[in-house]
Amino acid sequence: MALTELMKESISLWMRQRRQDVADEAKAFVKSYETTTLQSKVLATALSGLRALDYNRSKSFVPCVHLPLLVYAGMSRNDEQAVPLSVALSLLELGIDLLDNLADQELPLYWQGYSSSVIQLTATKFLCCLPQLALMKLDTSTANLLTIQQMLAQGLLKIAAGQLQDLEFQGSSHPNVEDIEASVLGKSGERRGMYAALAAQLAGASLETVEAYAEMGRSLGVVLQFTSDCTDIFNAAHSRDLANGTRTLPIALHLQQLQDTERASFLDLLAKAKVDLKAQEEVRASLLQAGGLRRCAYYIEYFRQRTKQSLEIANPKEPALSWFKEIISNVSVLSLESKK
C-alpha cells in the first residue's frame, strides 16, 4: 500500500474514533446537568444532532471535533488533553446549528411536537451554558482558562455579526461578492478560526502562533463553506439555499455579471426556485453554462492557498502537519458531479 494510502487510512480511522469519543463524552456531560424530566427529554432531543458525528454515518472532517484536536496535537504530538475542548465546541456547534435551522425553518423531524420557544430556549442552553461548563474541565491554569473564555465570547460576537450580514443579503437582487465573502469570513471563517485559536491557546502557544492558527482556521472555514454552498447548488437534488433565497457565492457571482434585463429574468427564476424543483434545475443549468462552478473554484483555491500559508507559519509538528495538508488538499469543488 502506498504511503499516501496508509496516511489516508490512518486519518480516516482517527476521525471515526475521535468523532465517537467526543460524541460519547458530550452526551455523558449533558446528562450530568439534567435537572427535570422535561429538560432531560429536550436535551436528549437536541443531542440527536450529534449523530452527524457518528462514525457509522460520516467519514468527513468535522471542524468542531477534529480541528482543535489537530491543532493541539500539532503543538504537543498528543490530542488527548484537547478532547474536553472538542466536547465544548461540539455542544456550541449544536446550539449554533439549532438556531440556524430554526431561523431557516429547516428543523429536523425529531423536533416535531416542540414549540419554537422551547427549541429557542434549548439552543441558548447549548450556546450560553453547556460549553462554558465543559470548558471548566480543561487541564489548564485559571489565567489561561479566563483567556479562553474571553476568546470564546469575542469569537461568538464576530460569528453573530457574520450571520447578520448573511440574513441581510437574503433575497437581494444586487448581492455584492465582496460582501458575501465578508459574511462567510464572519459566520464560518471566524467560527473555525476560533476553534483553532482556542486549541492553540490551550496548548500554551505564543500570540503569533495563536493568530497563525486562527488565520488558518478562518481560511479553511471559508473553503469549507464555499465548497458546501457549491455542493448545495450544483449537487443537491433539492437546494436548501435556493429554497431559502440565500445569496451564496455561485448566485452572487452570476448576478453580478448580468445586465438589467437578464438580471430581472434570473431573479424571477430564483423566486420560482424557492418552491419548484424544475426551476432549481434551470438555475443550476444557467450557472453551469455561464462557468459558475469554475468561477467559484477560483475563490476556493485562493482561500485554500491562504490556509496553506498560515499552516506554514503555525508550523505544527508531525503527524499533525501531514494530516492537515491531506485534509486541505481533499477539499475540491471541481470534483462535483452536477445533477442536471
Give the CATH superfamily of 140-340. Answer: Farnesyl Diphosphate Synthase (1.10.600.10)
Is residue 40 within 8 A of residue 137, CB to CB? The reply is no
Which residue, chain included where needed, has cell 434551470? 282
pLDDT tens for each residue of 206-241: 999 999 999 999 999 999 999 999 999 999 899 999
pLDDT tens for each residue of 13-47: 999 899 999 999 999 999 999 889 988 999 999 99
pLDDT reported for residue 103: 82
- Decide if pLDDT at 294 tops 80: yes
Query: Where exactly are the structural domains of the chain?
Result: 1-60+82-135, 140-340
Distance CA 29, CA 9 (A): 30
Q: Which amino acid is at 89?
A: L
pLDDT reported for residue 227: 92
Distance CA 246, CA 160 (A): 17
How large a percentage of the chain has pLDDT more than 70? 94
Find, among 190, 196, 195, 194, the residue nearest to 75 by Cα: 196
Average pLDDT, the chain: 90
- Decide if pLDDT at 55 tops 50: no
Burial category of 172 from C-beta neighbours within 10 Å (exposed 0-12, middle 13-18, buried 19 and up): middle
Average pLDDT over residues 93-119: 89
pLDDT tens for each residue of 126-172: 998 999 999 999 999 999 999 999 999 999 999 999 888 888 887 78
